[in-house]
Amino acid sequence: MNTSPHPHEPDRVERLVQYCQRFPKVRLMVVGDVMLDHYIWGGVDRISPEAPVPVVAVSNESIHLGGAANVAHNVVSLGGKVELCGVIGKDDFGGRILRELKRLKIGTEGLRVDPDRPTTKKTRVIAHNQQVVRFDREQRLAVSEKIRRALFEFIGRRIRRVDGVVVSDYSKGVITGELMKDLIGLAQHHGVPIIVDPKVGHMSYYKGVQVITPNTIEAFGAAGLETRSEEDLMRAGQILLERLECRAVLITRGEHGMSLFEKDGKVTHIPTVAREVYDVTGAGDTVIATLALAMGAGAEMRDAALLANYAAGIVVGIVGTAPVQRARLAQVLRERTSS
């Protein structure tokens, strides 16, 4: 059965705002690929005489937390508490991440330093609000067994203290089949839900988690579907639900909003609330952070998905990686119901 909630109804909006007010009581653990997002900003007014490429006149640069670290940043910006678990390199970029996390009062006890791999850094060149090129500094091989054991030992010590575990999988080596198998068993033992931002190649790792949040490309790819019609979207959601035996699949659909598939057969299509889309970078991090906080605050899946949709609508209107503030989310909720 397909249902379409009315997110602008006053009663529903007030309920969503109340969940936001409970975020400070929620503690999450974020496990995954920690990275930096590096932006080079400038303008283009000519083509290089050396090759048919634009010449970017650089005006400034900025560096932000990315990947799992950006998920953690979103959690604290939304008022929640967070434990971050991942890997950085023994280099200047790893040091930059540590300093920024400490500035934000995000604990670094769950980070492990691996001298044999670089800290992951994505550099994007932006000219006139358009991405010109991106280049990545990374090591995508799985982390060593020693590092994996250290990560799991940290998780085992802290999991009793959290209301949910967010897995932020960017396929940079932290999330492996072994780690997920151990994590799922541990979380089930303690009754802690796992919410995953997945990668297609790792989909089999997630069997038994509560929720996954693929985008449309990931959902169709994981379901083995080549066409992308509305009918196939419905098939993809059901295939993933059954294959992973999870409680819900939330497919993010860009300008088409989101589609929530639940274990009880309910399907909820949520239209986008974004007024303008400038940059989708980090939107998935915002979605999963908001969704997990809302679930930890007691929201039903559809209300949690609505909150995540509103948060995503804010972040895609900003060029570059940016977290959503809890006050801003509540303000947007109230503005939309009064407009």
Residues 6+ apart with CB under 8 A from 323: 70, 73, 74, 76, 77, 78, 286, 315
The set of catalytic residues is 285
What's the confidence (pLDDT) of residue 332?
84
Per-residue pLDDT, 16:
92
Q: pLDDT band for 11, please (50, 70, 90 cuts).
A: confident
Residues 37-46 pLDDT 10s: 999 999 999 9
User: Read out DSSP for 3-34?
Assistant: E---TT-HHHHHHHHHHHHHGGG-EEEEEE-E
Q: Judge whether residue 135 has pLDDT over 70.
A: yes
Q: Cβ distance 115 to 89 under 8 Å?
A: yes
* Residue 128, pLDDT score: 86
CATH number at residue 221: 3.40.1190.20
CB-neighbour burial class of residue 27 (10 A; exposed 0-12, middle 13-18, buried 19+): middle
pLDDT band at 32 (very low <50, low <70, confident <90, very high): very high
Q: Per-residue pLDDT averaged across 58-79, rounded?
A: 94
Q: Are 165 and 183 in contact (CB under 8 A)?
A: yes
CB 309 within 8 A of CB 257: yes
284 or 30, which is more confident = 30
Q: How is 132-167 classified by DSSP, letter by letter?
A: EEEEEE---SPPPHHHHHHHHHHHHHHGGG-SEEEE
Task: Report the percentage of the chain scoring pLDDT > 90.
Answer: 76
Q: What is the pLDDT of residue 246?
A: 96
Q: Cβ distance 116 to 88 under 8 Å?
A: no
| Side-chain-facing half-sphere of 10: CA atoms under 13 Å | 2
Q: What mean pLDDT comes out for the span 96-123?
A: 95
pLDDT at 333 over 70: yes
Q: Which domain covers residue 187, as residue numbers?
A: 2-338
DSSP H stretches of helix in the chain: 10-22, 68-77, 92-103, 145-158, 177-190, 216-223, 230-244, 283-296, 301-315, 326-338
On the question of pLDDT at 275 being above 90, the answer is: no
Least confident of 2-6, 107-111, 271-275: 2-6
What does the block give as tokens for 41?
């900003």
Mention every residue, 6+ apart, whose C-beta is less than 8 A from residue 237. Answer: 219, 249, 251, 259, 261, 267
Q: What number is the average pLDDT over the span 205-225? A: 95
> pTM for the full model?
0.91
What is the rounded average pLDDT for all residues in the chain?
A: 90
User: Which pLDDT belongs to residue 190?
Assistant: 97
Number of separate domains in the chain: 1
Mean pLDDT on 136-143? 94
On the question of pLDDT at 276 being above 60, the answer is: no
